Amino acid sequence: MTMGKKALIVDDNGVNLYMLESLLKGHGLAVTSAENGQEALDKARLDPPDIIVSDILMPVMDGYSLCRQWKADERLRGIPFVFYTATYTEPRDEEFALSLGADGFVIKPQEPDVLMNILKEVWEKPVAAGAAAMPLGEDMEFFRRHNEALFRKLEKKMLDLEIANQKLKILEENYRLSFEHVTDAIYMMDTDPKFTGMSPSVERMLGYKPQEIIGRPMTWLGSILAPESLKQALDDIALVLKGETVSARIYRFIARDGSIKVGEVNTSPLKRDGKIVGLISVARDITDRKRAEEKLRQTLDSLHKAVDTTIQVMVFAVEARDPYTSGHQFRVAALAGAIAAELNCSPDQMEAIRLAASIHDIGKLSIPAEILSKPTKLTDIEFALIKEHSRKGFEILRGVPSPWPLAEIVYQHHERLDGSGYPRNLKGNEILMEARILGVADSVEAMASHRPYRPGLGIEAALKEIEDKRGSLFDAGVVDACLRLFREKDYRLPDSLDV
């Protein structure tokens, strides 16, 4: 198109006007816009454009009437008139438009390049300078055809509206059924705040009918919430009315019969036109779930106590057969627990380490007592029997019910990072962290303490040994934690089981 030419665009949709204006300006045209046919006609008569692109369905004056007036105007009839419509898309709509003298008829939307090519063709095609295709004198024919086109669109709009209403009724019915039959209690409050809606399921949950609650003020919550939950609920309501969403709050409800129900409540703000007008909450009855969780917790507590008792029995059994190492497992458990705490291990890991360390030598029950208490250096065969205690301990413990891998920790406590340990020559990350901690604690206590076949080497010699083997035999982080305990935090090994 020629630079500097003027275009008039007509559409009652601001977004359409903006997009079309941007397109035409991008191709070098000066653009004037109007939101209806009358406005376009007035602007064109004051300052005629070089082309007009108009929608059809508009208020005040539609596109057909605008085209008829345009082609009847002596000054405007020679200016190309192009319809650009998404509503009138049938062949007879185009036929009527062309009969009014329109120079082009384009269906929305079009790719920008395609639309510009169409406009360019219209622009470059000569426009007849004669009378309009339908002179003003033929009013009756124009109005007949014009009304026919309008009625067609009206009928389609009515049909579309009827279909939309049917869909809306179905959605409303589905919503009603969902609201009435949902198992969770759904309630709404306004900003006063007072209850404005309540699902029937509240009766199953608390024994109140919805009509007994709707209209009540927020203070009525004091009748159905335990004191500690009431404070939390009031704080949560304040947060939600400020625009926040509160999820998975646990409230204790008081039912009509006085029983306590536990509910998990999610609350979100209700907005209209961007303004908070209230809140909606969904409360799920989790009373049975909480009871099951409490029963499970009690079962786990009982299991822990049973495991702990079993461990103590095993400890005493080992200590009774090996009096020279009395207290060894206790001291190892204490040191291993301290190292685990220094490393910020989880409570679950720390409990596993404590219990495994307390019975890490359980496998010695299978070793003859005379070898365990032998006051002289062990022979190779005797030492090989001693080394079997890790495997024997695993075999004893693997059948003991436990929430922790106690058997595997005991199995691995003599393994070393470089694979030189026993009984499976595990390396690096093949060794559990719990077993690495136990291995350091066991080594330190064993070297520092007296044994039947040698005097104790002392704590400094033990610490020097693990420091020298840091990163090769022993985990570097575990060694560092152990050294900090003794050298910086004045840790001392317990003297006996009474400590």
**What is residue 173's predicted lDDT score, i.e. its pLDDT?**
53
The 3-class secondary structure across 183-244, one letter per residue, is CCEEEEEECCCEEEEECCHHHHHHCCCHHHHCCCEHHHHHHHECHHHHHHHHHHHHHHCCCC
**What is residue 415's predicted lDDT score, i.e. its pLDDT?**
95
**What is residue 177's predicted lDDT score, i.e. its pLDDT?**
46
CA distance 264 to 233: 12
Q: Tell which residue, 146, 482, 449, 416, has the closest CA to residue 324.
A: 449
**What is residue 132's predicted lDDT score, i.e. its pLDDT?**
45
- Count of CB atoms situated within 10 Å of the CB of 109: 12
**What is residue 136's predicted lDDT score, i.e. its pLDDT?**
46
**What is residue 336's predicted lDDT score, i.e. its pLDDT?**
96
CATH architecture of 6-153: 3-Layer(aba) Sandwich (3.40)
**What is residue 499's predicted lDDT score, i.e. its pLDDT?**
36
CA distance 160 to 166: 10
Strands 51-54 and 81-85: parallel
Q: What are phi and psi of 51, to 5 degrees?
A: -160, 150
CATH number for domain 182-285, candidates 3.30.450.20, 3.30.160.160, 1.10.10.10, 3.40.50.1220: 3.30.450.20
CA distance 93 to 391: 92
CA distances from 200 to 174, 187, 213, 381 (A): 15, 10, 11, 79
Q: Identify any residues that bridge with 499 across adjacent strands, giving them in sequence order.
A: none
**What is residue 325's predicted lDDT score, i.e. its pLDDT?**
57
Residues (pLDDT < 70) of the chain are 1-4, 127-182, 307, 318-326, 451-454, 496-499
Is the whole model's pTM more than 0.85, yes or no? no
**What is residue 138's predicted lDDT score, i.e. its pLDDT?**
54
CB 240 within 8 A of CB 269: yes
CA distance 7 to 64: 19
In sequence order, what DSSP letters do the residues of 382-439 get, joined into one string?
A: HHHHHHTHHHHHHHHHTTS--SS-HHHHHHHTT--TBS-SSSS--BGGGS-HHHHHHH
* 484: Cα within 13 Å, side-chain hemisphere: 12
CATH class of domain segment(s) 291-487:
mainly alpha
CA 441 to chain CA centroid, Å, is 42
Instruction: Indicate the domain borders of the chain.
Output: 6-153, 182-285, 291-487
Span between the terminal Cα atoms of the chain, in Å: 99
